[in-house]
Amino acid sequence: MARHSNFIIFFSSLFIGLGVFSFTPGLSDFLTRYFFPQQVKKLPRSLAQYSQVKGKVWRRYQGNSQNTRLVRKGHLHDGDMLSTDKRSSLDIILPNQTQIRLLEQTKAVIEFWNSKDPKSPVYLTIFFGDFELIKEGTPGGLYIVQDHQLFTPSFRPKKSAYTLNLKNAELRIAEDPPQKGLASDSPSFSSPDTSSPIQTEEKQTISHLEAASPPPRGESKPEVSPETL
Protein backbone atom coordinates (compact mmCIF):
# COMPACT_ATOMS: atom_id res chain seq x y z
CA MET A 1 0.00 0.00 0.00
CA ALA A 2 2.81 2.37 0.85
CA ARG A 3 4.57 1.44 -2.37
CA HIS A 4 1.43 2.23 -4.36
CA SER A 5 1.15 5.62 -2.71
CA ASN A 6 4.79 6.37 -3.57
CA PHE A 7 4.05 5.81 -7.26
CA ILE A 8 1.08 8.16 -7.05
CA ILE A 9 3.19 10.84 -5.38
CA PHE A 10 5.95 10.41 -7.97
CA PHE A 11 3.68 10.74 -11.01
CA SER A 12 1.79 13.61 -9.40
CA SER A 13 5.02 15.47 -8.78
CA LEU A 14 6.15 14.79 -12.34
CA PHE A 15 2.88 16.10 -13.75
CA ILE A 16 3.03 19.23 -11.59
CA GLY A 17 6.65 19.80 -12.56
CA LEU A 18 5.86 19.62 -16.27
CA GLY A 19 2.99 22.04 -15.78
CA VAL A 20 5.17 24.50 -13.92
CA PHE A 21 7.87 24.19 -16.59
CA SER A 22 5.35 24.93 -19.35
CA PHE A 23 3.55 27.87 -17.79
CA THR A 24 6.09 29.56 -15.52
CA PRO A 25 7.57 32.56 -17.38
CA GLY A 26 11.30 32.50 -17.83
CA LEU A 27 11.82 29.03 -16.34
CA SER A 28 13.14 27.57 -19.56
CA ASP A 29 15.59 30.45 -19.90
CA PHE A 30 16.73 29.91 -16.31
CA LEU A 31 17.34 26.20 -16.88
CA THR A 32 19.22 26.97 -20.09
CA ARG A 33 21.43 29.46 -18.28
CA TYR A 34 22.05 27.01 -15.43
CA PHE A 35 22.74 23.80 -17.38
CA PHE A 36 24.10 25.24 -20.65
CA PRO A 37 26.04 28.41 -19.77
CA GLN A 38 28.22 28.11 -22.89
CA GLN A 39 25.19 28.42 -25.17
CA VAL A 40 24.00 31.47 -23.27
CA LYS A 41 27.32 33.23 -23.80
CA LYS A 42 26.94 32.86 -27.57
CA LEU A 43 23.69 34.81 -27.61
CA PRO A 44 23.90 38.50 -28.55
CA ARG A 45 23.26 41.01 -25.81
CA SER A 46 19.71 41.87 -24.83
CA LEU A 47 18.13 44.94 -26.42
CA ALA A 48 14.51 44.79 -25.21
CA GLN A 49 11.98 42.88 -23.14
CA TYR A 50 8.71 41.30 -24.13
CA SER A 51 6.14 41.79 -21.39
CA GLN A 52 3.05 40.06 -22.75
CA VAL A 53 2.55 37.24 -25.23
CA LYS A 54 -0.88 36.56 -26.67
CA GLY A 55 -1.46 33.49 -28.78
CA LYS A 56 1.40 31.88 -30.67
CA VAL A 57 4.53 34.01 -31.03
CA TRP A 58 7.83 32.64 -32.31
CA ARG A 59 11.42 33.79 -32.02
CA ARG A 60 14.43 32.75 -34.09
CA TYR A 61 17.88 33.63 -32.82
CA GLN A 62 20.37 35.15 -35.20
CA GLY A 63 22.26 32.40 -36.99
CA ASN A 64 19.75 29.74 -35.90
CA SER A 65 17.34 27.89 -38.17
CA GLN A 66 14.86 26.78 -35.49
CA ASN A 67 11.95 28.77 -34.08
CA THR A 68 11.20 28.75 -30.37
CA ARG A 69 7.89 29.79 -28.88
CA LEU A 70 7.91 32.77 -26.51
CA VAL A 71 6.29 32.50 -23.09
CA ARG A 72 4.80 35.50 -21.24
CA LYS A 73 7.95 37.46 -20.28
CA GLY A 74 11.58 37.46 -21.30
CA HIS A 75 14.38 39.23 -23.16
CA LEU A 76 14.92 39.89 -26.85
CA HIS A 77 18.39 39.78 -28.32
CA ASP A 78 20.14 41.53 -31.16
CA GLY A 79 19.05 40.04 -34.49
CA ASP A 80 16.01 38.11 -33.21
CA MET A 81 13.38 37.36 -35.83
CA LEU A 82 9.84 37.56 -34.43
CA SER A 83 6.70 36.04 -35.94
CA THR A 84 3.10 36.21 -34.75
CA ASP A 85 0.30 33.89 -35.85
CA LYS A 86 -3.36 34.70 -36.33
CA ARG A 87 -5.05 36.31 -33.31
CA SER A 88 -1.62 36.69 -31.69
CA SER A 89 0.41 39.68 -30.53
CA LEU A 90 3.62 40.55 -28.70
CA ASP A 91 4.23 43.55 -26.42
CA ILE A 92 7.81 44.87 -26.46
CA ILE A 93 9.40 47.33 -24.03
CA LEU A 94 12.52 49.18 -25.20
CA PRO A 95 15.22 50.61 -22.90
CA ASN A 96 13.93 54.14 -23.63
CA GLN A 97 10.54 53.03 -22.20
CA THR A 98 8.88 52.91 -25.62
CA GLN A 99 6.24 50.19 -25.74
CA ILE A 100 4.98 48.74 -28.99
CA ARG A 101 2.82 45.78 -29.92
CA LEU A 102 3.41 43.50 -32.87
CA LEU A 103 0.00 42.68 -34.30
CA GLU A 104 -1.17 39.37 -35.72
CA GLN A 105 0.54 37.83 -38.73
CA THR A 106 3.59 40.03 -38.43
CA LYS A 107 7.18 39.10 -39.20
CA ALA A 108 9.97 41.41 -38.11
CA VAL A 109 13.62 41.56 -37.06
CA ILE A 110 14.78 43.63 -34.09
CA GLU A 111 18.44 44.67 -33.94
CA PHE A 112 20.93 47.32 -32.91
CA TRP A 113 22.18 49.86 -35.41
CA ASN A 114 25.65 49.34 -33.94
CA SER A 115 25.95 46.35 -31.65
CA LYS A 116 29.26 47.63 -30.27
CA ASP A 117 27.74 50.91 -29.12
CA PRO A 118 25.97 50.58 -25.73
CA LYS A 119 23.78 53.59 -26.58
CA SER A 120 22.94 52.43 -30.08
CA PRO A 121 19.31 52.90 -31.19
CA VAL A 122 17.17 49.87 -31.96
CA TYR A 123 15.79 49.18 -35.41
CA LEU A 124 12.67 47.11 -36.02
CA THR A 125 12.40 45.95 -39.63
CA ILE A 126 8.87 44.78 -40.46
CA PHE A 127 8.69 42.50 -43.49
CA PHE A 128 4.92 42.14 -43.38
CA GLY A 129 2.20 42.86 -40.85
CA ASP A 130 1.97 45.91 -38.64
CA PHE A 131 2.59 47.30 -35.16
CA GLU A 132 0.82 49.51 -32.64
CA LEU A 133 2.37 52.17 -30.42
CA ILE A 134 1.34 51.67 -26.79
CA LYS A 135 3.57 54.22 -25.07
CA GLU A 136 6.04 56.72 -26.46
CA GLY A 137 9.37 56.89 -24.67
CA THR A 138 12.48 58.99 -25.15
CA PRO A 139 12.88 60.00 -28.81
CA GLY A 140 15.69 58.38 -30.76
CA GLY A 141 15.61 55.00 -29.07
CA LEU A 142 13.60 53.08 -31.66
CA TYR A 143 13.20 53.37 -35.41
CA ILE A 144 10.84 51.45 -37.66
CA VAL A 145 11.70 50.23 -41.15
CA GLN A 146 8.52 49.39 -43.06
CA ASP A 147 7.46 49.62 -46.72
CA HIS A 148 10.90 50.95 -47.68
CA GLN A 149 10.50 53.86 -45.25
CA LEU A 150 12.35 54.78 -42.06
CA PHE A 151 10.41 56.55 -39.32
CA THR A 152 9.84 56.76 -35.58
CA PRO A 153 6.93 54.90 -33.94
CA SER A 154 5.13 58.14 -33.12
CA PHE A 155 5.24 59.43 -36.70
CA ARG A 156 3.91 57.31 -39.52
CA PRO A 157 4.52 58.74 -42.98
CA LYS A 158 1.37 58.94 -45.03
CA LYS A 159 1.48 57.36 -48.43
CA SER A 160 1.00 60.15 -50.96
CA ALA A 161 -1.23 59.50 -53.93
CA TYR A 162 0.54 58.90 -57.21
CA THR A 163 0.18 61.71 -59.75
CA LEU A 164 -0.12 60.36 -63.28
CA ASN A 165 0.50 62.87 -66.06
CA LEU A 166 -0.70 61.67 -69.44
CA LYS A 167 0.33 63.18 -72.77
CA ASN A 168 -0.90 62.07 -76.17
CA ALA A 169 2.63 61.94 -77.48
CA GLU A 170 3.75 59.67 -74.66
CA LEU A 171 0.77 57.37 -74.27
CA ARG A 172 0.94 54.27 -76.41
CA ILE A 173 -1.71 51.60 -75.96
CA ALA A 174 -1.37 48.29 -77.74
CA GLU A 175 -4.64 47.00 -79.12
CA ASP A 176 -5.69 43.98 -81.13
CA PRO A 177 -5.42 44.39 -84.90
CA PRO A 178 -8.71 45.34 -86.60
CA GLN A 179 -10.80 42.63 -88.15
CA LYS A 180 -11.25 42.40 -91.87
CA GLY A 181 -13.81 44.82 -93.14
CA LEU A 182 -13.69 46.97 -90.01
CA ALA A 183 -11.73 50.18 -89.66
CA SER A 184 -9.73 50.85 -86.54
CA ASP A 185 -9.98 54.26 -84.90
CA SER A 186 -6.94 53.79 -82.65
CA PRO A 187 -3.36 53.25 -83.83
CA SER A 188 -1.27 50.21 -83.00
CA PHE A 189 2.44 49.94 -82.55
CA SER A 190 3.02 49.03 -86.17
CA SER A 191 1.02 51.94 -87.54
CA PRO A 192 2.40 55.49 -87.70
CA ASP A 193 1.70 57.74 -84.80
CA THR A 194 -1.40 59.83 -85.51
CA SER A 195 -2.17 60.74 -81.93
CA SER A 196 0.39 63.52 -81.70
CA PRO A 197 -1.19 66.82 -80.64
CA ILE A 198 0.93 68.62 -83.27
CA GLN A 199 -0.56 66.56 -86.08
CA THR A 200 -4.04 67.05 -84.67
CA GLU A 201 -3.60 70.80 -84.56
CA GLU A 202 -2.28 70.76 -88.14
CA LYS A 203 -5.34 68.84 -89.32
CA GLN A 204 -7.67 71.23 -87.55
CA THR A 205 -5.82 74.25 -88.99
CA ILE A 206 -6.02 72.83 -92.51
CA SER A 207 -9.75 72.16 -92.17
CA HIS A 208 -10.33 75.75 -91.01
CA LEU A 209 -8.26 77.12 -93.88
CA GLU A 210 -10.19 75.04 -96.37
CA ALA A 211 -13.48 76.36 -95.01
CA ALA A 212 -12.29 79.95 -95.20
CA SER A 213 -10.58 79.71 -98.63
CA PRO A 214 -12.28 81.03 -101.80
CA PRO A 215 -13.93 78.61 -104.24
CA PRO A 216 -11.87 77.13 -107.07
CA ARG A 217 -11.26 79.01 -110.23
CA GLY A 218 -14.18 79.04 -112.64
CA GLU A 219 -16.74 79.29 -109.89
CA SER A 220 -18.11 82.63 -108.79
CA LYS A 221 -19.21 83.56 -105.37
CA PRO A 222 -22.94 83.92 -104.93
CA GLU A 223 -23.85 87.57 -105.11
CA VAL A 224 -26.00 88.96 -102.38
CA SER A 225 -28.55 91.48 -103.60
CA PRO A 226 -29.64 94.39 -101.48
CA GLU A 227 -33.16 93.00 -101.44
CA THR A 228 -32.08 89.92 -99.50
CA LEU A 229 -30.51 92.12 -96.89
pLDDT digit string (tens) for 130-164? 999 999 999 999 999 999 999 999 888 877 655 55
Higher-confidence position of 73 and 197: 73
Whether the model clears a pTM of 0.75, i.e. scores above it, the answer is no
CA distance 4 to 67: 41
124: nearest Cα among 143, 107, 141: 143
Question: What pLDDT does residue 6 have?
Answer: 63
57: nearest Cα among 14, 101, 118: 101
pLDDT digit string (tens) for 85-136? 999 999 999 999 999 999 999 999 999 999 888 889 999 999 999 999 999 9
**Neighbouring residues of 142: CB distance < 8 A, sequence distance ≥ 6:** 94, 96, 98, 100, 121, 122, 123, 124, 152, 153
Question: What pLDDT does residue 49 have?
Answer: 94
Question: The sheet that has 99-102: what strands, in order across it?
Answer: 74-77, 46-54, 89-93, 99-102, 131-135
CA distance 68 to 53: 13
Output the average pLDDT for the chain: 73
115: nearest Cα among 76, 77, 153, 61: 77
Question: What pLDDT does residue 37 have?
Answer: 55
- Say how many CA atoms lie within 13 Å of 49 toward its Cβ: 12
Of 33-42, 132-141, 191-200, give the range with the top mean pLDDT. 132-141
pLDDT at 1 over 70: no
